[in-house]
Structure 1
Amino acid sequence: MMDMDMDAPLDFESDDPLLSLPLPVSTKKRRKVIGLDDLVSDFYKEKSKTGARKSKSGKNYNSDEDDDRTRNKKEALLSKFVDDCQKQVHDIVTEAEIPLWGQRIFGPQKAPPSLSFPGLGSCKLLQSFTNSELNLMLELNSEKGETFIEGLIINGWLSKLVLTCGHVEESIASYSFYLMLYSSNEGLQASACEFWLAILPSVNKVDLPSVIFDWFPSYTELKHALEVYGYLSCSSTNISSLSEVDSKDSCSEGPPRNIRSWIKFLGACCQIRSIQPIFSTSEVEEFLGVIIYLFLDRRLQGLSLLLHECMLSVISFFTDSEWISSCEKVANSLAYRLPKDMNCLKIVECIPGSTTRSKHLRSKVAFQILINCFDTKVTGAEDVLALLLSINLKDKKCDFFKIYIYLVLAENWLFSSSLLDQRPVILEMWGVYLRNCSSQITSTDWRSFASKVRNKASYLLQTTTQKKEF
Structure 2
Amino acid sequence: MEDFDAPLDFESEAPLSRQSPAANDGKRKKIIGLDDLLSHYYNPVDETSKKSKRKQFHSDDEEKNVKKKEELLSKFVFECQNQVNDIVAEDDIPLWGLQAFGKQKSLPPFDSADLTNSILLKSFIKCQTSSLLKLEMDQGEIFLDGLLVDKWLLNLVYLSGSVEDCLASWTFHKALYSSKKNVQEAGCDFWCSILSAEAEVYSYNVDIKWFPCFSAFKDALEVYGFIPYCIALPTLVSNDSFEIFGPPINIICWLKLLAVFCRIRNGHRLFSMSEVEEFFDIIVWLFLDHQLQGISFLLNECMLSLITFFTDKEWPDSSVKIVNSIASRIPMDLNCLRAVECISGVDKRSRTLRSQLSAQILSHSVGRPGARTMDLLKLILKDDVKDKDCDFLKIYIHLVLAENWLASDPSMNEDRAVSEAWLKYLRILSTQISNTDWRSYAAKVRNRAFYLKQTMRT
Tell me which of 309, 317, 331 is aligned to 2:309: 317
Deviations 1:260-303 (A, max 9, x none): 10000000010004252110100000111111221122221221
Change (3 A) 1:205 1:79: same
Deviations 1:245-266 (A, max 9, x none): 5899977112111101000000
Deviations 1:188-220 (A, max 9, x none): 01001111112237544777514132x321000
- Aligned equivalents of 1:103, 1:410: Cα separation in 2: 23
Contact kept in structure 2, 1:427 and 1:464, CA below 8 Å: no
The residue aligned with 1:119 is 114
Please state if 1:445 is matched with 2:437.
yes
- Aligned equivalents of 2:111, 2:345: Cα separation in 1: 45
- Aligned equivalents of 1:345, 1:430: Cα separation in 2: 19
SS in structure 1 of the partner of residue 309 of structure 2: coil
Tell me which of 385, 392, 395 is aligned to 1:400: 392
- Aligned equivalents of 2:270, 2:369: Cα separation in 1: 39
SS in structure 2 of the partner of residue 441 of structure 1: coil
Please state if 1:192 is matched with 2:192.
no
- Aligned equivalents of 2:355, 2:309: Cα separation in 1: 19
Matches within 5 A, 1:309-458: 309-376=301-368, 379-458=371-450
Contact kept in structure 1, 2:359 and 2:402, CA below 8 Å: yes
- Aligned equivalents of 1:212, 1:88: Cα separation in 2: 67
SS in structure 2 of the partner of residue 172 of structure 1: helix
- Aligned equivalents of 1:167, 1:333: Cα separation in 2: 40
Please state if 1:242 is matched with 2:232.
yes
Give me the TM-score of the superposition, normalised by structure 2.
0.80
The residue aligned with 2:96 is 101
Contact kept in structure 2, 1:353 and 1:416, CA below 8 Å: no
- Aligned equivalents of 1:345, 1:161: Cα separation in 2: 48
Deviations 1:163-200 (A, max 9, x none): 33233222212211111100000000100111111223
Tell me which of 139, 152, 160 is aligned to 1:157: 152
Please state if 1:136 is matched with 2:126.
no
How far 1:404 moved relative to its partner? Answer: 0.9
How far 1:65 moved relative to its partner? Answer: 12
Change (3 A) 1:358 1:389: same
Runs of 5+ unmatched residues, structure 1? 1-6, 8-27, 34-39, 41-63
Q: Which amino acid aligns with 2:250?
A: N
How far 1:422 moved relative to its partner? Answer: 2.0
Change (3 A) 1:208 1:81: same
The residue aligned with 1:211 is 207
How far 1:230 moved relative to its partner? Answer: 0.7
- Aligned equivalents of 1:158, 1:419: Cα separation in 2: 56
- Aligned equivalents of 2:183, 2:69: Cα separation in 1: 75
Change (3 A) 1:139 1:78: closer
Runs of 5+ unmatched residues, structure 2? 1-16, 18-24, 31-45, 47-58
How far 1:464 moved relative to its partner? Answer: 1.6
The residue aligned with 1:254 is 246
Change (3 A) 1:392 1:378: farther
How many residues end up aligned between the 2 structures?
Answer: 414
Deviations 1:283-329 (A, max 9, x none): 00011111122112222122111111111111100111211111112
Contact kept in structure 1, 2:395 and 2:445, CA below 8 Å: yes
- Aligned equivalents of 1:381, 1:320: Cα separation in 2: 25
The residue aligned with 1:178 is 173
Contact kept in structure 2, 1:179 and 1:192, CA below 8 Å: yes
The residue aligned with 2:142 is 147
Q: Which amino acid aligns with 1:200?
A: L
- Aligned equivalents of 2:238, 2:105: Cα separation in 1: 19
Contact kept in structure 1, 2:360 and 2:370, CA below 8 Å: no
Percent of pairs with identical residues: 46
Change (3 A) 1:138 1:269: farther
SS in structure 2 of the partner of residue 382 of structure 1: helix
SS in structure 2 of the partner of residue 452 of structure 1: helix
Contact kept in structure 2, 1:363 and 1:416, CA below 8 Å: yes
Contact kept in structure 2, 1:363 and 1:413, CA below 8 Å: yes
- Aligned equivalents of 1:161, 1:276: Cα separation in 2: 25
Change (3 A) 1:72 1:148: closer
Contact kept in structure 2, 1:102 and 1:244, CA below 8 Å: no
Deviations 1:364-390 (A, max 9, x none): 121121112113556111111101111
Matches within 5 A, 1:52-71: none
How far 1:106 moved relative to its partner? Answer: 0.6
Contact kept in structure 2, 1:331 and 1:368, CA below 8 Å: yes
How far 1:350 moved relative to its partner? Answer: 1.8
The residue aligned with 1:84 is 79
Contact kept in structure 1, 2:175 and 2:187, CA below 8 Å: yes
Contact kept in structure 2, 1:363 and 1:414, CA below 8 Å: yes
The residue aligned with 2:33 is none
How far 1:353 moved relative to its partner? Answer: 3.3
Deviations 1:44-100 (A, max 9, x none): xxxxxxxxxxxxxxxxxxxx9999999887766555444332221111110122222
The residue aligned with 1:25 is none
Contact kept in structure 2, 1:162 and 1:199, CA below 8 Å: no
